[in-house]
A and B are shown apart, each in its own frame.
Chain A
Amino acid sequence: MSETFAPVAPAEARPASVVTEGRWIRWLLIGIAILFLALFLVLPLLTVFAQAFAKGFAAYLAAFTEADAHAAIRLTLLTAAIAVPFNLVFGIMASWAIAKFEFWGKNLLVTLIDLPFSVSPVVSGLIYVLVFGAQGLLGPWLLAHDIQVIFAVPGIVLATIFVTFPFVARQLIPLMQEQGTAEEEAALTLGASGWHAFRTVTLPNIRWGLLYSVLLCNARAMGEFGAVSVVSGHIRGLTNTLPLHVEILYNEYNFVAAFAVASLLAGLALVTLCVKSLLEWRYADEIAAGARGH
């Protein structure tokens, strides 16, 4: 009889849980993960602040007294203030059309909306030069009508819209799809107008997802470098966004100022991460379709 039980005995002798690794392995893996993240992600972030304050607080503040820095901050805010609402409206429109209706060619449409994600930032800038540059498609026409697109605010805004184009739509489409159309249909049957149904039924359902996507969209819009760099022309005090201003200061040996301005952007990134994590912890299932707690 004892032979019958023999195979079971070792199983019982195993550690309390059979669905995890041994304690040492566990701590080893945790150690690897934290070390890797510290080396590749946290250390660069700390470097920004360390370099920014390398010559003391006064030197740090001096970076922000310059008129060019103010202009860069203003331009960055302006760019985000145009690009983010634009993509917000576009995202809602696109996800409304895609999530609430069935139509032919939908997959293609979604793929096309995704396209800017897979395009290198440099290429994103290049294509606007090809359209709006003096040697480009519309160049002669724009020249004749005295409209400056690239090397001016419109070009910077366009390039920023391009790189952040899918942010809101990508977040909302699956969310709206999961919520289906039943609630809106119910509201409509009860006599609500389409706009009213959208405002009172759809919008409350997607508001956290919307906020979440706007947050990420904004972070990218304010931080975009490659695409904006190609179309900006780097005119001091006129077409320099914050990331470009960082590069300029860096190339002027003004490392403390470069890192000081960079720390502003890093601070923005930290705030973004905090709010993002907060949203994820509190409203996980209202942010994304099929969100699972983690």
Chain B
Amino acid sequence: MAPPTRAESFRAEPFHAEPLRPKRRFLRPSVIPGFGLAFGYTLTCLGLIVLLPLAALVTRASGLGLAGIWEVATDPRVASALRVSFGVSLMAALTASVFGFVIAWVLTRYRFPGRKIVDAVVDLPFALPTAVAGIALAALYAPNGLVGAQLARIGIEAAYTPVGIYIAMVFIGLPFAVRTVQPLIAEIDKEIEEASATLGAGRVHTLVRVVLPPLIPAVLTGFALAFARGVGEYGSIIFIAGNLPYVSEIAPLLIVIKLSEYDYGGACAIATLMLGISFLTLLAINLIQAWSRRRFGYV
């Protein structure tokens, strides 16, 4: 306990005898100035830049009514595009999570030459514009490309098939998978592992039963982030996808196509669906983290 101070002695005065917060009010009083300015500015920007345009989207889509949106969503081509977007993104996020975990583990636990460079490289997809990534991946994985030629030899067509979409999604999702798990691996108390080992558990047993469980929420969060990013991705995918309806057409591209057909209603309906699903993903992340807070006491 800190010794009593001047401020604390104020507390005893009858002036402040009533409960500190008798009623709920919007802002808790503070000596720090600038709330009004900062809050007003924040709200105005948020309203004009984010909320107003998004409201325009939802208004436009709600013009169709729930039945109308459902009709668009169940249109075979739209349904198939949504399936491709979500299905491939799911697989890509899974891959990114597994390899992301290995990369995060290697980067935090092992010392090897060039580790810091490898660590920096992980963030490349954050920094590289998606269009650049798109044409580079297309050049690399096309049948006449460096990697594509090798894959073609073993009978895998990468570019212009869902495999190409998968590759692009792994590319953009990987950093999320690595960066959410990495700090938690660094935080693991090695004494627990030592204790586990001392008590006779083998290394595999220790990893599976002691080390991994607390990391699961972080892995899930990374997975959800990679998934959400993959679902919405456009720039890197269109160059490598092939864009064939029912096979390799992604939902964001279908929005662009609907726009080209002057079908604003259809475009808005797909956009709203995607928005709704990303909200659900956001919610899932929140639930995972809330669960993990209860279960493990941290996020």
Contact = CB atoms under 8 A, between A and B. Distances in A.
Do A and B touch directly, given a CB cutoff of 8 Å in the complex?
yes
Interface of A: 7, 11, 14, 18-22, 26, 29-30, 32-34, 36-37, 39-45, 47-48, 51, 89-90, 93-94, 96-98, 100-104, 109, 111-116, 118-123, 126-131, 135-137, 158, 161-162, 165, 181, 184-185, 188-189, 194, 198, 216, 219-220, 222-226, 229-230, 242-244, 246-247, 250, 258-259, 262, 265-266, 268-270, 272-274, 276-277, 281, 292-294
B200 A11 contact: yes
A49 B233 CA distance: 24
A25 to B, nearest CB: 9
A18 B132 contact: no
Contacts of A114: 282
B128 to A, nearest CB: 4
B116 interface: yes
B244 interface: no
B49 to A, nearest CB: 6
B157 interface: no
Among B106, B109, B197, max chain A CB count under 10 A is at B106
Given A262-B135, A274-B120, A281-B116, A103 B235 contact: no
Contacts of A194: 32-34
A276 B123 contact: yes
Interface of B: 24-28, 30-35, 37-39, 41-43, 45-46, 49-54, 56-57, 60, 99, 102-103, 105-110, 112, 116, 118-137, 139-140, 145-147, 167, 170-171, 174, 182-183, 186-187, 190, 193-194, 197-198, 200, 203, 228, 231-235, 239, 251-253, 255-256, 259, 264, 267-268, 271, 274-275, 278-279, 281-282
Nearest to B109: A20
Contacts of B282: 111, 114, 118
A185 B116 contact: no
A26 B35 CA distance: 52
A21 B204 CA distance: 9
B116 to A, nearest CB: 7
A223 B116 contact: no
B126 A292 contact: no
Contacts of A128: 53
B116 A277 contact: yes
Given A18-B193, A18-B194, A29-B105, A100 B30 contact: yes
Contact of A44 (B34, B39, B137, B183): B137
B57 A222 contact: no
Most chain A beta-carbon neighbours within 10 Å: one of B24, B122, B136: B136
A130 B57 contact: yes
Identify the 9 closest CB pairs spanning chains A and B, nearest first: A223-B129, A120-B232, A194-B33, A225-B235, A18-B197, A127-B53, A226-B234, A269-B127, A97-B38
A129 B262 CA distance: 12
A280 to B, nearest CB: 8
B121 A184 contact: no
Given A158-B49, A269-B128, A294-B119, A126 B275 contact: no
Contacts of B279: 118
Contacts of B232: 118-123
B256 A219 contact: no
Contact of B135 (A89, A189, A258): A258
A222 B132 CA distance: 12
A97 B42 CA distance: 8
Contacts of A89: 41
Given A43-B147, A115-B50, A269-B127, A121 B234 contact: yes
Contacts of B119: 277, 294
Given A93-B41, A97-B39, A194-B33, A32 B102 contact: yes
A102 B132 CA distance: 43
A246 B49 contact: no
B50 A162 contact: yes
Contacts of B42: 90, 93-94, 97-98, 109, 113
A216 B251 CA distance: 27
A185 B129 contact: no
Contacts of A97: 35, 38-39, 42
B53 A130 contact: yes
